[in-house]
Chains A and B, each alone.
Chain A
Amino acid sequence: MTDMIVPSFDDETPTGRKLAIICSKGNLDMAYPGLILANAAVGEGIETHLFFTFWGFDIINKATMSHLKFSFVGNTAMHPPGHAGIGIHHMLGALPGATAAATKMMKKQIADLDVPDVPEFLDLLHDSGAHLWACRMSADMNQLTEDDLYDGVEAIISATDFIELTDGAQLLFI
């Protein structure tokens, strides 16, 4: 018999750990790493901020967030799911229909793992208390306003604002 061990859930982050994730890419396969890591962080009680900028703006733009695509052009690691030894030449990805087929396949794999699609993932993050921010310059370049963005986005802010509010945070650039 030993003393009772109790997990220390609440005192592991006494200094208030913060995580800032900058999402700068709008491809389907580049959207998920940021979303998944943010979800993991917020579930660990970490204050989590996501900043969507440049092509990453497509992740929170209502017009595009359900239609992100995966292309394997330039991705020399491309192989069919579960067949790491079989290479597919990445330039085949330039053929008509290749992006649509690859996107469909990746979306199916993601759904098979019961991982939500992008809009539902944003709901999950928002409900979990993660902070979603949109980049001012990206909004201006695309002539978009907060009305065009996912409802859970807190505001369109400048890069300076984001740097200020993530003072002391660990940072990921994706």
Chain B
Amino acid sequence: MPTTTIAGRSVDLDAEGFLTNPDQWDEELAQTLAGNIGITLTDAHWVPIRFLRKDFETQKETATLRRISTVGGIPVKELFALFPGKPAKKMSYIAGLQKPKGCV
């Protein structure tokens, strides 16, 4: 498991670059992670990112797009607009979580 330094701290990553330890994450790190994939975080971006973190605390797994939409109340359309292409993967990367495992 590669360990690297991001935003001045040591973090563990999987082979693709996702954090493997969610406890190594904070919002400052998220800014750097977002920058890595070409996203500048605005208030609108923070809403789903914070939902993902909060939901993970209780569910112990990364919410799918549908869950972010139905439980988090953020329309799917908006998620695709904020995180174009692969919204679920991009959001989980920035939130310091693993990719969602659920199919839907």
Contacts and interface: CB of A to CB of B under 8 A. Distances in A.
Interface of A: 1-7, 9-10, 36, 39-40, 43-45, 113-116, 121, 124, 127-129
Contacts of A2: 2-4
A45 B13 CA distance: 24
B38 A10 contact: yes
Interface of B: 2-6, 10, 13, 15-18, 36-38, 65-67, 69-70, 75-77, 80, 84-90, 93, 102-104
Contact of A6 (B10, B17, B102): B17
Contacts of A43: 65, 86-88
A128 B88 CA distance: 11
B80 A128 contact: yes
A40 to B, nearest CB: 7
Contacts of B70: 114
A40 B80 CA distance: 13
A128 B4 CA distance: 34
B18 to A, nearest CB: 7
Given A1-B5, A116-B104, 14 more contacts: A4-B13, A4-B36, A5-B16, A7-B18, A9-B89, A43-B88, A44-B85, A45-B84, A114-B66, A114-B102, A116-B66, A121-B104, A124-B66, A124-B69
Consensus secondary structure, chain A interface: loop
A142 B75 CA distance: 34
Contact of B103 (A10, A40, A124): A40
Given A9-B85, A39-B104, A43-B87, A4 B67 contact: no
Contacts, number: 76
A93 B73 CA distance: 40
Contact of A5 (B4, B67, B69, B102): B4
B37 A4 contact: no
Contacts of B4: 1-5
Contacts of B67: 114
Given A2-B3, A6-B17, A9-B37, A45 B86 contact: yes
Most buried by A among B4, B17, B66: B66
A43 B89 CA distance: 9
Contacts of A1: 3-5, 10
A12 B21 CA distance: 25
Contact of B76 (A5, A36, A115, A127): A127
Nearest to A44: B86
